[in-house]
Amino acid sequence: MKIIEELLSDKGIKPAAKIETLCSWLIEGKINIDNLLEFAETAKDPAKATCIEALEYATKQNPSTPNYKCFQFVTETLKAKAPRVKWESAKVLGNTAHLFSGKLNEAIKNLLVNTEHEGTVVRWSAAFAWERF
């Protein structure tokens, strides 16, 4: 989606403001979750992580924000190479697992792998999500 690409490529906007803007766009309906996921699926890791962090903020404010496609996306991105993608994905799962309680097997498997990760934040985020299950 062009509006997301323009926001994320704007060097004049600080990273935190980009995340906040994406989150508010989601909550206000300026973009829908499928548009954000479509962009994130093919984005490079830094942009993908920013999109997932915006999802994390949105799901913290409104846990019913994600749909099943979002749940599947963050479950899969737990296996990403980039630590930030892993930890933001785990936080989204932690905020929303109650919505998909019958479909947690793959998420649990991927989170367990991340509990062995060398990065402290990846391990912490996996534990955060696990605790919420």
What is the extent of the structural domain holding 27?
Answer: 2-132
pTM above 0.75, yes or no: yes
Q: How many CB atoms are closer than 10 A to CB 39?
A: 20
- Give CA–CA dist 67/65, Å, rounded: 7
At 121, the pLDDT band (50, 70, 90 cuts) reads very high
CATH code at position 96: 1.25.10.10
At 7, the pLDDT band (50, 70, 90 cuts) reads very high
- Give CA–CA dist 15/1, Å, rounded: 19
Interval 70-98 mean pLDDT: 97
Q: What is the pLDDT of residue 92?
A: 97
- Our count of domains for the chain comes to 1
